[in-house]
A and B are shown apart, each in its own frame.
Chain A
Amino acid sequence: MTVSRRAAGQVTLVCQDLRVGIRVVDSPSTMTLLSRLADVLPGAVVTTDAISKAQYTVVELPRTVRSRFVIRSSGRRSRRVSSATEVVEYLRSQLSTQVAETARCRIFVHAGVVGWKGRAIVLPGRSGAGKTTLVAELLRAGATYYSDEYAVVDEDGGIDPFCTPLQIRSTHTSRKHARTHEQFGARAGTERIPAGLVVFATFRAGHAWTARALSPGNALALLLANTICARTRPDAAIAALGKTAVAPAFIACRGAAHEAAHQILNLLEGGA
């Protein structure tokens, strides 16, 4: 397929230690939307200056093609989507992972995080574990939003905000929909806070809440299993997460998110 090469442009995204060039071919609207990446990827700056080698190339095909946006990335398979908004969402997802992998001064742990009275509630878990649902419920209960994707841990074990839009999964289609923390009546955290509670919760439909306390050593081992750089930088990960793991930690099985949020807040208040 021949693609017009007119109206090509390029931006560079800088976030933490990541610097990525994104090239857009024949799609001025996508070029405009790419500037929105800075809004949805925490701490990111999108610039047309200081061009980096393009790692991603976005090509817009004629409107007659259903999935007319093709995203090519070096060393990976192409992805086709139907709208410029989906292009931005796909890039946000890819780039947030790259930020997590390349950050040198922070440790990224797959987790939802909210703040409660100046302390962080960390909810580690993989995709599908229900951490976003739990984060949303805690926000409704008055918690401050920190992240539904990564706990960003500094060398002293403190948690930084990483406020990406919440990716709420539809119960019917498994498709994710972005929601802002404001839609849950919550405000976003702006300051680093210490870990106050770590809960490794798994979801089981209809299950009553059960929780068992974890020792700091076991909590650290489980945190490592959810840590992006655990294999590549185990020393740094263990040093930082060892300070997070001294917070009270529990392994839990939950049913309804509303009940679980209530129980989690009780655990935090009880451990104060």
Chain B
Amino acid sequence: MNPTARKSDLTIETLAGETVVYDTKYHKAHCLNSMAARVWQYCDGTNSVADITRRLKEDYASADEEVVQTALLRLQKANLLGTEYAVPSRRDMAKTLSLRAALAVPLISSVAIPTAAAAKSKDKKDKKNRTK
């Protein structure tokens, strides 16, 4: 089955070549660099990994299938792919991935978004003085 980008429960913003995705289901914000974002864009369910690799090479000459697999692994880890697509496991990939592919910058950084209550300034004295 071809990889498909998850589209539901997401708010997406493009900023200076990067794509910021807010996941309203898991309450995480992800920043995809341009290469990771391009792979995600190509995950429309019709493109195979080979198709994505070919299209990505048009944008990035250094891209190859290893780079695409790395991007897919990172996208899946960030819950940005449909669950039906099975990306090779990290262990399987570690056997074949070169260091170059691992570092070939399809980067995704993620940060958890706390609730308003958790984000608010905490006051230890406040907690101590609470009574039932």
A174: chain B residues at CB < 8 Å are 124-125
Answer yes or no: B15 CB below 8 A from chain A CBs. yes
Interchain CB contact (< 8 A) of A224 among B18, B113, B124, B129: B113
Give 1 or 0 for each of B26-45: 1 = CB within 8 Å of chain A CB: 01011111000000000000
Q: Is the CB of B20 within 8 A of A226?
A: no
Specify which chain A residues have a CB less than 8 angstroms from the CB of B11 in the assembled complex.
234-235, 238
- Interface size grouping (class) on chain A: 35 or more
Evaluate contact between B131 and A78: CB separation under 8 angstroms.
Answer: yes
Q: Are B15 and A216 in contact (CB under 8 A)?
A: yes
A239 within 8 A of B: yes
B116 x A224 contact (CB < 8 A): no
Chain B, range 87-132, C-beta contacts under 8 Å to A: 109-116, 119-126, 129-132
* A 32-89 contacts with B by CB, 8 A: 67, 77-81
Enumerate chain B residues within 8 angstroms of A222, measured Cβ to Cβ: 111
A81 vs B29: C-alpha distance when bound (angstroms): 39
* 15 A-B residue pairs with CB within 8 Å: A79-B131, A80-B129, A81-B129, A127-B120, A216-B18, A217-B20, A220-B31, A221-B31, A222-B111, A224-B22, A225-B113, A228-B119, A238-B22, A242-B13, A246-B16
Main secondary structure of the interface of A (DSSP, over half): mixed
Known: A78-B130, A149-B121. A217 touches B19 (CB 8 A): yes
Query: In the complex, A20 Cα to B16 Cα: how many Å?
Result: 41
A18 within 8 A of B: no
**Which B residues are in CB contact (< 8 Å) with A67?**
129
Q: Determine the distance from Cα of A33 to Cα of B30 in the docked complex, in whole angstroms.
A: 46
Q: Which chain B positions have C-beta within 8 A of A90?
A: 126
Contacting residue for B123 out of A176, A230, A231, A238, CB 8 A: A176
Interface residue A266 (Cβ < 8 Å from any Cβ of B): no
**CB-nearest residue of chain B to A150:** B121
Name the residue of chain B whose CB is nearest to the CB of A237.
B22
Question: Within 8 Å of chain B (Cβ to Cβ): is A172?
Answer: no
Q: Which of A77, A218, A232 has a CB less than 8 Å from the CB of B132? A: A77
Contact partners of A101 in chain B: CB under 8 A = 116
Asked, given contacts A67-B129, A216-B16, whether A221 binds B115 with beta carbons under 8 Å apart, the answer is: no
Complex contacts, A100 vs chain B, CB 8 Å: 116, 120
